[in-house]
A and B are shown apart, each in its own frame.
Chain A
């Protein structure tokens, strides 16, 4: 099992992962920095505090699992896996290059330690429910965490899955919505409003918790509450800032899917010292 980190250690790691994220996307000259940066604290807290997993034994049957349903934020997952020891850190900058284990979207063919191939939005909740029910049948303590984008929940399959999860009482699943308010074409409210988010999940029979998605103690508390919640699945609505940590990327729809130029990268790395 991976050694848990303290909150200050995770805060320092979050900053380092942000540097790695902008560097790898800069090197790739394409990618999605905004939604990777918004999810850093959530992913760090899962990988270095909440989840029971073992980088030396990635297929341990009773491990907790993480699915990045918003697969375009692959860099945040890759940096977490590299920092945890699943994959080499020194190859992060091969992101999106031919043959790289760090494919443009998570791909189990190239990186078997991933829990799922993702990239087509709306599918992760369903995958998580299947994995969680398999764990239940096996009498395993394994829990499955699935991260969604706020734009992603416009996909109808998410709500098919939400209905299923409540009906089948899949309480070993936690959905995390990275609620950063921006999708590719602009602000979510200008494309297809998703408010009121927590109420939607509650209406579908889930326990919903709203938190500041950059505050690690709040994230820890939310996942502890989810683990105590029996009979229904939990949705964590994490309010975040798209592009968090890099001033010119924050709340800027341009950086949903645009790589920093070499000059922008230099600036971003200075800000993330």
Chain B
């Protein structure tokens, strides 16, 4: 929990992809069964760091994501802990059939890390932007799906993913990310972090939108609105208890994510709300594909700023009985 009355002025930390790459090297030092696969993007995914330290445990797959995912499955069948990385859009979309049949169906201990998630990759445009990955990854039975907000949570969750026995997908971003957490913060797969308590409305956010949600909370507090902010770093399995409590206590929920609203965290939270304490909800997310532009321009144009969270809070409070 962030201390009360602290002005949120985070320093810009590493991109979550870089935090992943560094944590992976440490995971490799701790566990010799960790092997890494990459598809010609190791400089972008930062698996190049692992390659440099453990050349014998790094396997270049070339630009062939489907093959990479199934080779990872083969490693897992033989008792290794494979980590396969690429841009999210390529590893999840081109590898989806292999994620389904070779990883999820036999429930193998494979870790998939997608980098350059969402639209904040910027100028490269929609062919490189992953905006369906939460829907796809969450549809796979048995998968754990993680979406860390900053370098601290990424580092902790990479180690948690390696320790977890079973398939995991981690989505990470290209941009440097504001540091939300103190270095000593503890994280547990499936346990959301309540960052700020509040009673009028709850904002559930994941990834880059966590920092935007905190900024929104500060502005709304100045307007006399008490906002609870929760980081859902684990998109699957959902922390149902925390959602149910927020729904019962604040009776209004906004979900914010850098992903298509269809199939995203928001609809998953809405299911739990419907099953527990139905309440009004609003959703901050994408409706369609974006375009080229700077990350800041895109987040602004496509409605993923604190301003958009604030507007959603006003909408949901207007509907709250």
Contacts and interface: CB of A to CB of B under 8 A. Distances in A.
B35 to A, nearest CB: 7
Nearest to B105: A117
Interface in B68-123: 69-80, 82, 97-98, 101-102, 105-107
Contacts, number: 100
A119 B101 contact: yes
B106 A123 contact: no
Interface residues of B, number: 30
B70 A130 contact: yes
A128 interface: yes
Contacts of A118: 101
Interface stretch (B4-12, B54-62, B250-258, B297-305): B54-62
B269 interface: no
B164 to A, nearest CB: 19
Interface string A97-139: 0000000000111000001111110010011111111110110
A126 B74 contact: yes
B75 A130 contact: yes
A185 interface: no
B42 interface: no
B195 interface: no
A129 B101 contact: no
B70 A164 contact: no
Contact of B74 (A117, A127, A156): A127
Contacts of A126: 66-67, 69-71, 73-74, 98, 102
A157 B75 contact: no
Nearest to A163: B62
A157 B106 contact: no
A230 interface: no
Contacts of A161: 67, 70-71
Given A109-B106, A127-B74, A129-B74, A117 B82 contact: no
Given A164-B61, A167-B62, 11 more contacts: A108-B106, A109-B106, A120-B97, A126-B71, A126-B74, A126-B98, A129-B71, A131-B74, A133-B71, A156-B66, A164-B67
Interface of B: 35, 56-57, 59-62, 64, 66-67, 69-80, 82, 97-98, 101-102, 105-107
